[in-house]
Structure 1
Amino acid sequence: MSTIKNNVVVIVRIPVPKFAPKWLVRKKMKATVDLYSSIDGLEFKLFTFETESGDFGGIYTWRDSASAEKWFNPEWFARIQRERGNEAYVRYFDAPLSIDNVQGGTPASTFDSHVATLVQIPIPQGVSKELVLSGFASAEETYRNVGGLLRKHFILGSHG
C-alpha cells in the first residue's frame, strides 16, 4: 500500500476504429505492457474501455507534468491518428493525493475486469484550495479501508 503526493493524472480517450473489434484492441494493449513499464516518470497505467461509447484509452499516473508532456508530444498525437485512424482526447489533472491499496502496487493485467469510475465534483465558489486539500487528507484513511478499492486519485481541475 502506498500514498503518492503531487503527481499528475492523465486520462486518454480514443474512439475505437470501426475495423477493430474489442478483442483485437485488448490484444494490442497486452502487447504494450512492457513498453509502459519502462517509460520514465510513469508511475501507473490503467488500460480502459468506456462502457457507453466503447472508446478505449487509459488512465495514467505521472510523477510530474514534464514527464507526461514528454510522452504526450506532437509525435505521439500524430502516431495515434495514423495508427488508430482517430484523434486522441487527452486531459491532465493535478493529483495532490493518490492511494494505492494493493500491497506491492496494483498488478499489471489486461484480463481483469476492474472498474474505474470518474466522479467530478466542482469546488463551490468561495471554498479555498487549502480547504479542499485538507478534506482530501482527512479522507485518506477512509479510502484505505474501502473493500475492493484498488486505487483512488484525489484530483483538482482539468487542463490540457
Structure 2
Amino acid sequence: MIIAITSFALPKPISREEAQRIFMSTAPTYQGVDGLLQKHYVLSEDGATAGGVYFWKTREAAEAMYTPAWRAFVREKYGTEPTVTYFDSPVVVDNVTGQVFQNEAGG
C-alpha cells in the first residue's frame, strides 16, 4: 500500500465549516478512482493549510492521479500549488477489524 500526503498553504485561512463545504463539493471526484482505497481530507488547526491523506493500492495508481490537470484543479479551487509526498506502508494496524497485516513489497 502507498500513502500519498498532499498539502497546500491557503491564500487565507478558512474555517472548518468552510473546509467541510469545499471538501464535500470535491469528494465525488474521488469516488470510484481506480486503486484509491481511501481519502481523508485534512485541515490544519489554524485553517491555513489543507490537503489529503490518500491510501492507494500501488504507486502507479497514485501517480495516475497527480497529473498536471489535477495540479491545475487544485490551483484553481484553492489558489495555491499543491505538494505530494509518497510513503510506502509496510504494516497496517486496523483497529476497526482488529487486524495487523503486512503489505506486499512495492505497494
Aligned length: 100
- Name the CA distance, whole Å, in 2 between partners of 1:73 and 1:26: 24
Distance of 1:19 and 1:48 partners within structure 2:
13
Work out the CA distance in 2 between the residues paired with 1:26 and 1:38. 20
Give how far 1:21 is off.
4.1
Q: Report the alpha carbon displacement of residue 19 of structure 1 after superposing the two structures with TM.
A: 7.4
Find the aligned partners of 1:29 and 1:41 in 2 and give their Cα distance.
20
Distance 1:73 1:44, change over 3 A: same
TM-score (norm 1): 0.54
Residues 11-48 of structure 1 show CA distances to partners (whole Å, capped at 9, x for unaligned) of 11112232754422211212333332211100111111
Q: Does 1:68 align with 2:68?
A: no
Residue in structure 1 matching 2:19, options 21, 25, 37: 25
Question: Unpaired runs of 5+ in structure 1?
Answer: 1-6, 104-139, 142-160
TM-score normalised to the size of structure 2? Answer: 0.78
For residues 44 and 55 of structure 1, what CA distance do their matches in structure 2 show?
20
Unaligned runs of 5+ in 2: 102-107
Aligned alpha-carbon RMSD (Å): 2.4
Pairwise CA distance, 1:76: 0.8
Structure 1 residue aligned with 2:104: none
Determine helix, strand or coil for the equivalent of 1:32: helix
Q: Distance in 2 between matches of 1:22 and 1:96?
A: 32
Name the one with the larger strand percent.
Answer: 2
Which of the pair has the greater relative contact order for Cα pairs under 8 Å at 6+ separation?
2
| Paired position in structure 1 for 2:71 | 77
Q: Highest Rg: 1 or 2?
A: 1
CA distance in 1 between counterparts of 2:81 and 2:54 reads: 18
